[in-house]
């Protein structure tokens, strides 16, 4: 049986660990502290972008100590799983009556900021719905890949332009369950 440590999960598929479980814990606490401070006495709706957000958001909201409601949006890009689509190719599915939250501050949570097309699209989508207090939070950020000027207030960690998996991030739907973030070996996706 494989051990539940950083070498046990699909170890031959990745090159190196980029964000360890200990580092993740520190990142979560730092961002949650900022959110607890910034949204004190405000109505807060945390909106996760499926699927990638699910582990990060679960950890984050359990460290938020102010009243919070949660919902999800599924933002699907059409096309290959390894190439980000332009904003015009994004299909949105909502899981709550967002109209009921117009007087809330909305914090959109995602696993990774890449080109920024997804969040740019969602910012316009939510503004068009009437939300006027929107902020973004992503666990990872790949600044080299940016194609938009989206402002993300809370960022866990900036990383190089590598193919990363784990902690919610997938390649062909695999690896999301790894409790750390690793760079995938080229042999897996070439």
Q: Known catalytic residues?
A: 114
Residues that bind ligand PRP (CB under 6 A): 49, 51-52, 75, 77, 84, 110-118, 170
Backbone angles phi, psi at 20, to 5 degrees: -80, 170
Query: For the chain, first and last CA: distance in Å?
Result: 29
Minimum CB separation of residue 71 from ligand PRP in Å reads 16
Q: Which is nearer to ligand PRP, 42 or 78 (CB)?
A: 78
Cβ distance 75 to 91 under 8 Å?
A: yes
Q: Which is nearer to ligand PRP, 26 or 143 (CB)?
A: 143
Minimum CB separation of residue 31 from ligand PRP in Å reads 17
| Longest distance between any two alpha carbons in the chain, whole Å | 52
Angstrom distances, CA of residue 98 to CA of 14, 84, 125, 131, 153:
39, 26, 11, 9, 22
By beta-carbon distance, which residue lies closest to ligand PRP?
52
Minimum CB separation of residue 45 from ligand PRP in Å reads 18
Minimum CB separation of residue 145 from ligand PRP in Å reads 7
Q: Which is nearer to ligand PRP, 7 or 172 (CB)?
A: 172
The 10 Å Cβ neighbour count of residue 151 is 11
Q: Which is nearer to ligand PRP, 69 or 163 (CB)?
A: 163
The 10 Å Cβ neighbour count of residue 9 is 20
Which DSSP helix (H) or strand (E) runs through 30?
helix 21-38
Query: Could you tell me how many residues make up the chain?
Result: 190
């Amino acid at each position: 049986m494989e051990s539940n440590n950083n070498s046990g999960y699909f170890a031959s598929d990745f090159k190196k660990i980029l964000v360890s479980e200990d580092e993740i814990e520190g990142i979560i606490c730092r961002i949650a502290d900022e959110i607890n401070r910034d949204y004190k006495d405000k109505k807060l709706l945390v909106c996760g972008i499926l699927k990638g957000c699910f582990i990060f958001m679960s950890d984050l909201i359990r460290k938020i100590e102010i009243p919070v409601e949660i919902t999800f949006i599924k933002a699907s890009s059409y096309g290959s799983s390894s190439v980000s689509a332009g904003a015009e190719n994004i299909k949105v599915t909502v899981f709550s009556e967002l109209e009921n939250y117009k007087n809330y501050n909305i914090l959109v949570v995602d696993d990774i900021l890449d080109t920024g097309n997804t969040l740019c699209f969602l910012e316009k989508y939510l503004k068009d719905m009437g939300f006027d207090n929107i902020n973004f939070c992503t666990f990872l950020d790949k600044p080299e890949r940016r194609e938009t000027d989206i402002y993300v207030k809370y960022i866990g960690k900036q990383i190089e332009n590598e193919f990363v998996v784990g902690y919610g991030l997938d390649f062909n739907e695999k690896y999301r369950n790894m409790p750390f973030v690793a760079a995938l070996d080229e042999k897996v996706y070439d």
